[in-house]
Amino acid sequence: MEALIYFSLGAVVVVSVWLIRSKKLSFFNQNQNQYRGQKPTFNIRDTLSGELLCEGIIFGPTGAVNSRFVADMNAIWDGDKGIINERFVYDNGSVQDRKWVLTIMNSGKISAEASDLIGTGVGAQSGSTINLNYNIKLPEDAGGHELAVVDWMYLLPNGTIMNRSQFYKYGIKVGELVATIRKKDF
């Protein structure tokens, strides 16, 4: 009986430390209020507009690089509704097309839709950042998993966007994307 008590106490301690670490000392700890008023201001209609180039890396659960990619993006806005067409070319030669439909609500919140999203993503602009949260279904050739995504975009002083996304399954981080997005040079 004593061993069961010690085991239970140990399990409670481990779970408590894990919860504190994952919620207070990690990527999840960021919030929009931290970035309010920071310059340059990330105006999604201006910054994510026109022909864009995205270059990035996807890390797997061990932290090793799983994939690299380059994407051409074209973003067009009509008032509070934007359409972003993306074409990703991965280092293994595969190509992926995605179309995002973003809507800016009167409250300043953002809703996001795409064919591989499960439901609608939600987010907001604040200072020099945009945060989006959504669930995505990976293509079958990538395992077909459903993942929760926490996506932060940070506007740098030179106009480049630094994008960092983390992917979770059952609350456990299984991947991360780091990318830059910038206006295309013609």
Co-location of 20 and 109 in the same domain: no
Co-location of 73 and 86 in the same domain: yes
pLDDT of 70: 98
Co-location of 18 and 108 in the same domain: no
Co-location of 41 and 23 in the same domain: no
Q: What single string gives the DSSP state of each residue in the chain?
A: -HHHHHHHHHHHHHHHHHHHHHHHSSGGG--GGGGTT-SS---HHHHS-EEEEEEEEEE-TTSSEEEEEEEEEEEEEETTEEEEEEEEEETTS-EEEEEEEEEE-TTSEEEEE-TTBSS-EEEEEETTEEEEEEEEE--GGGT--EEEEEEEEEE-TTSPEEEEEEEEETTEEEEEEEEEEEEPP-
CA angle 145, 150, 156 (to 5 degrees): 135
Domain extent, residue 93, equals 32-183
Co-location of 104 and 164 in the same domain: yes
Co-location of 47 and 139 in the same domain: yes
CATH code (residue 112):
2.40.128.20
pLDDT of 186: 62
Co-location of 162 and 144 in the same domain: yes
Co-location of 26 and 64 in the same domain: no
Cβ atoms of 60 and 185 closer than 8 Å: no
Regions of the chain with pLDDT less than 70: 1, 4, 6-7, 9-29, 31-35, 186
Co-location of 22 and 38 in the same domain: no
